[in-house]
């Protein structure tokens, strides 16, 4: 079975797809107000959370099933499909019964194969499109697994939603973008559309423009942006929501990038430039191979003279001089430090390994 791109879902969607709507549905009046303010925009799908997964109890947990009917307002007034998050079989059955057009699985659901499977059982015999957010942690396999489970029950209208991953390392993001995840997911499922969710990546309004543009630069197929008529007073995720007006001006400034299939006249020049990369990569591998051989020779020498593998002073010198060289060449210090650590780990392994081999 091949996954259908969002343009082929039969819902009149085009790429890039802009999905807007509040983090949570709060009242019919709130949904109506946001709908009215979205009139005339390029938004192609309306979102709202109805059952809200909250980290701590006593936070607002969504208004529940009642709100399913409220979504008829944007569906009718804007003439676009509507989507809600489902996290168990009961939600799924209620959303199907209410005629919701598209479902989405949240990050806390994708992380749990039991929940995903329960939802899939409830979806058997239906063909509703489902969007799957990446799991909370940077585990690509869980994301792939949730998509495979949906495919196994016959769902072929599937999209990914990239919302970043939580981490304990201090960061300017609420959820680290982990850009390699959506890219590797697309490699696994070449016809899968992946939409980015800058709202949950950023956790604030200020960075949404920058992350939205980055998503388009990476060739993702659209954006899901939390939109509220009165963001400061939203009942959940107040800091990261923007008004429909701000959304429209943001959409007006974004630069949409094209895939090379859409611009075949650029292919030969691009191929030429890519050959340079191919040659440089070959050279890089050759240099690394030579470096590791030299390391093994040094290991042999250390063994013959009963010296320990790790020599602190030498390592400090290596790090400092290489970081200086990198800086002078315009290579980032953080990248160089990581690369040196990786090369050093491998070198120590090789030297230590060769000591065992020699003993045997
Ligand atoms: C949401 O979209 O409001 C939401 C709860 O998102 P996530 O599952 O990405 O945390
Ligand atoms: Mn939210």
Q: Looking at per-residue confidence, does 306 or 110 come out higher?
A: 110
Q: Whose CA is nearest to atom 3 of ligand 1?
A: 23
Q: Whose CA is nearest to atom 1 of ligand 1?
A: 23
Mean pLDDT of 146-152: 98
Mean pLDDT of 120-132: 98
Tokens of 219: 């060739």
State how far the alpha carbon of 135 is from the alpha carbons of 2, 105, 108, 218, 348, in Å.
Answer: 22, 10, 6, 20, 35
Mean pLDDT of 314-343: 94
Question: Which residue out of 53, 61, 62 has the highest number of ligand 1 atoms within 8 Å of its CB and is therefore the one to mutate?
Answer: 53
pLDDT digits (tens, 9 = 90+) for 276-291: 999 999 999 999 999 9
**Residue 324 pLDDT more than 60?**
yes
Buried b (16+ CB within 10 A) or exposed e, 10-45: ebebebbbbbbbbbbbbeeebbebbbebbeebebbb
pTM above 0.85, yes or no: no
Q: Rg for the chain (alpha carbons), in Å?
A: 25
What is residue 98's DSSP assignment? T
Is 106's C-beta closer than 6 angstroms to any atom of ligand 1?
yes
**Residue 359 pLDDT more than 70?**
no
pLDDT band at 234 (very low <50, low <70, confident <90, very high): very high
Mean pLDDT of 233-242: 98
At residue 314, the pLDDT reads 85
Report yes or no: 120 and 149 within 8 Å, Cβ to Cβ.
yes
Q: Whose CA is nearest to atom 10 of ligand 1?
A: 107
Mean pLDDT of 291-313: 87
Other beta carbons within 10 Å of 340: 16
Q: What is the mean pLDDT of the chain?
A: 95
**Helical spans, DSSP H, in the chain:** 28-38, 66-70, 72-78, 89-97, 107-110, 113-123, 140-152, 180-188, 198-202, 208-217, 244-253, 267-304, 312-328, 333-359
At residue 179, the pLDDT reads 96
Distance of CA 350 to the CA centre of its chain: 36
pLDDT band at 260 (very low <50, low <70, confident <90, very high): confident
Is the link from the previous residue into 129 a cis peptide, with omega within 30 of 0? Answer: no
At residue 358, the pLDDT reads 55
At residue 192, the pLDDT reads 98
Closest ligand 1 atom to residue 200 Cα is 9
pLDDT band at 360 (very low <50, low <70, confident <90, very high): very low
Is 200's C-beta closer than 6 angstroms to any atom of ligand 1?
yes
Segment among 4-8, 45-49, 315-319 with least mean pLDDT: 315-319
At residue 127, the pLDDT reads 95
Is 163's C-beta closer than 6 angstroms to any atom of ligand 1?
yes
Question: Which residue out of 56, 133, 134, 165 has the highest number of ligand 1 atoms within 8 Å of its CB and is therefore the one to mutate?
Answer: 133
Distance between CA 62 and CA 98 in Å, rounded? 17
Q: Looking at per-residue confidence, does 58 or 211 come out higher?
A: 211
Sign of the Cα torsion 137, 140, 143, 148 reads negative
At residue 35, the pLDDT reads 98
**Residue 336 pLDDT more than 90?**
yes
pLDDT digits (tens, 9 = 90+) for 152-201: 999 999 999 999 999 988 899 999 999 999 999 999 999 999 999 999 99
């Amino acid at each position: 079975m091949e996954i259908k791109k969002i343009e082929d879902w039969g819902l009149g969607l085009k790429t890039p797809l802009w999905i807007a709507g509040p983090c949570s549905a709060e009242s019919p009046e709130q949904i109506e107000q946001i709908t009215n303010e979205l009139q005339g925009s390029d938004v192609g799908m309306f979102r709202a959370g109805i059952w809200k997964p909250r980290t701590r109890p006593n936070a607002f947990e969504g208004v529940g099933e009642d709100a399913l009917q409220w979504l008829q307002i944007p569906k009718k007034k804007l003439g676009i499909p509507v989507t809600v998050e489902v996290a168990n079989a009961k939600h799924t059955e209620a959303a199907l019964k209410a005629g919701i057009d598209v479902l989405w699985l949240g990050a806390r659901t994708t992380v749990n194969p039991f929940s995903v499977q329960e939802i899939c059982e409830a979806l058997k015999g239906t063909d509703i499109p489902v969007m799957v957010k990446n799991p909370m942690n940077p585990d690509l396999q869980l994301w792939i697994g949730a998509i495979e489970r949906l495919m196994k029950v016959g769902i072929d209208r599937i999209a990914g939603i990239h919302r970043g991953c939580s981490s304990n390392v201090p960061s300017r993001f609420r959820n680290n973008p982990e850009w390699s995840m959506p890219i590797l997911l697309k490699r696994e499922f070449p016809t899968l559309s992946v939409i980015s969710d800058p709202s949950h990546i950023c956790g604030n309004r200020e960075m949404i423009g920058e992350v939205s543009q980055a998503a388009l630069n990476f060739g993702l197929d659209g954006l899901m942006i939390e939109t509220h008529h009165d963001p400061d007073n939203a009942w959940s995720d107040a800091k990261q929501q923007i008004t429909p007006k701000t959304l429209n001006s943001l959409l007006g400034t974004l630069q949409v990038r094209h895939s090379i299939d859409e611009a075949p006249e650029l292919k030969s020049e691009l191929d030429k430039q890519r050959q340079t990369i191919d040659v440089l990569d070959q050279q890089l591998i050759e240099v690394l191979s030579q470096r590791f051989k030299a390391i093994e020779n040094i290991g042999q020498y250390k063994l013959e003279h009963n010296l320990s593998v790790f020599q602190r002073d030498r390592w400090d010198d290596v790090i400092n001089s290489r970081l200086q060289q990198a800086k002078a060449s315009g290579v980032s210090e953080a990248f160089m430090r990581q690369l040196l650590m990786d090369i050093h780990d491998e070198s120590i392994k090789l030297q230590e390994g060769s000591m065992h081999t020699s003993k045997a």
